Chains A and B, each alone.
Chain A
């Protein structure tokens, strides 16, 4: 039984509720959105926490040994170590983790903000042929649209995702939820966001669609929209 290393993190003290940023798959706390939000938090005197999942960015561990569960564990450790209510801001897979974390820590989460949230992507994000490769060969490498290194999916990660699916049933979350999604998102179909809106138990759910927005939603205008949404929650 191995003890898992604590995630690397950056903590900015300030007014609450603190923002906790959950990056996407194989992404890290130095990403465009995380840094832009952190700069906004600095200007506004808001508390903000960024961290890296195990095996990503500055955190210890081998990427190949990570699963959705181990990254959820990292997120929960950050939540448990923080004080007071939190607003979780999850990008892509971070949006899935944000939902899973809110289900198990309802008393700690005051609101959720999803950016191209990707719950259940192990299900709809891979073709039948890709799933067969993952199952039979234990790993799948795909060219990444965001860098030179291919994106790796291990069977352990894929199986942990399949065991944590949320869509298709009511999602037991009651806090305010704000979702941003680009209609030009080539990774996560924007119609998934409609299903998520329907399944969330909370009545206070708003979805903002950006017609020319891509998956990353990292352009200046997208960031301004994200900040406006967070400001509206804090008010």
Chain B
């Protein structure tokens, strides 16, 4: 569930299906605030998503991996709610707790690129690619960061790798469009 919503949010946000708020409410009643937060994210209600993740994080007994995932999820909610300073705090915490999670480095790199922190973007996307070398979204972002760093050949190679990693997918189409536009 968490992973699915995580991947959903990376894509251009699809039209929210009618049942996301209902699912979120069901999860909340069941006390599953992490799942509720992701359902609110999918529904496009970032404030409620943040509140659900706040509640989930308030639990004292979470294992590190779950806590790291929640910081990552709340960070994504904060990016979507454009509170980038708070999002940075959550991503840094997530990276501490999930040092082997490529997606966490990817999310951090994408935020750093948005804030024009080029050095951090380069460092974190390199980590993400090392940890998840076949992930097309990570490879596309690596290409984007190479491009704004002025390394167009490297960027094109990364976008082509992304297209080859998932032929025919939406990510492959975006990757090939980036190659064509540069």
Q: Bound pair: A and B?
A: yes
Q: Beta-carbon contacts of B60-93 to A below 8 Å, as 1s and 0s?
A: 0000000000000000000000111110110000
Contacts A1-B182, A3-B149 given; does A103 touch B85 at CB 8 Å: yes
B116 partner residues in chain A, CB cutoff 8 A: 4, 69-70, 72-74, 76
Which of B13-21, B41-49, B117-125, B166-174 lines the interface with chain A?
A: B117-125
Contact A4 B120 (CB under 8 A): no
How many of chain A's residues have a CB under 8 angstroms from any CB in B?
23
Contact B85 A77 (CB under 8 A): no
User: B109: CB under 8 A from chain A?
Assistant: no
User: In the complex, how many angstroms separate the beta carbon of B119 from the nearest chain A beta carbon?
Assistant: 5
How many Å lie between the Cα of A103 and that of B84 in the bound state? 12
User: A141: CB under 8 A from chain B?
Assistant: no
User: B55: CB under 8 A from chain A?
Assistant: no
Size class of the B contact interface (CB-based, 8 Å):
20 to 34
User: B38: CB under 8 A from chain A?
Assistant: no
Contact B85 A165 (CB under 8 A): yes
User: A163: CB under 8 A from chain B?
Assistant: yes
How many Å lie between the Cα of A159 and that of B84 in the bound state? 11
User: A183: CB under 8 A from chain B?
Assistant: no
Contact B119 A3 (CB under 8 A): no
Contact A69 B85 (CB under 8 A): no
User: In the complex, how many angstroms separate the beta carbon of B7 from the nearest chain A beta carbon?
Assistant: 24
How many Å lie between the Cα of A104 and that of B115 in the bound state? 10
Contact of B119 among A76, A165, A169, A172 (CB under 8 A): A76
How many Å lie between the Cα of A70 and that of B114 in the bound state? 9
User: B36: CB under 8 A from chain A?
Assistant: no
How many Å lie between the Cα of A73 and that of B115 in the bound state? 7
User: B148: CB under 8 A from chain A?
Assistant: yes
How many Å lie between the Cα of A80 and that of B144 in the bound state? 21
User: B132: CB under 8 A from chain A?
Assistant: no
Contact of A2 among B88, B89, B120, B148 (CB under 8 A): B148
User: A162: CB under 8 A from chain B?
Assistant: yes
Contact B82 A162 (CB under 8 A): yes
Contact A165 B120 (CB under 8 A): no
Contact B83 A3 (CB under 8 A): no
A115 partner residues in chain B, CB cutoff 8 A: none
User: A166: CB under 8 A from chain B?
Assistant: yes
User: In the complex, how many angstroms separate the beta carbon of A120 from the nearest chain B beta carbon?
Assistant: 10
A1 partner residues in chain B, CB cutoff 8 A: 144, 147-148, 155, 178, 182
Q: Which residues of A line the B interface, CB within 8 A? A: 1-4, 69-70, 72-74, 76-77, 80, 100, 103-104, 159, 162-166, 169, 172
Q: Which residues of B line the A interface, CB within 8 A? A: 82-86, 88-89, 114-120, 144, 147-150, 155, 178, 182
Would you list 24 pairs from A and B whose C-beta atoms are within 8 A, ordered by A residue? A1-B144, A1-B147, A1-B148, A1-B155, A1-B178, A1-B182, A3-B147, A3-B150, A4-B116, A69-B115, A70-B116, A73-B117, A74-B116, A76-B119, A77-B118, A103-B85, A103-B88, A104-B88, A104-B117, A104-B120, A162-B82, A163-B82, A166-B85, A169-B85
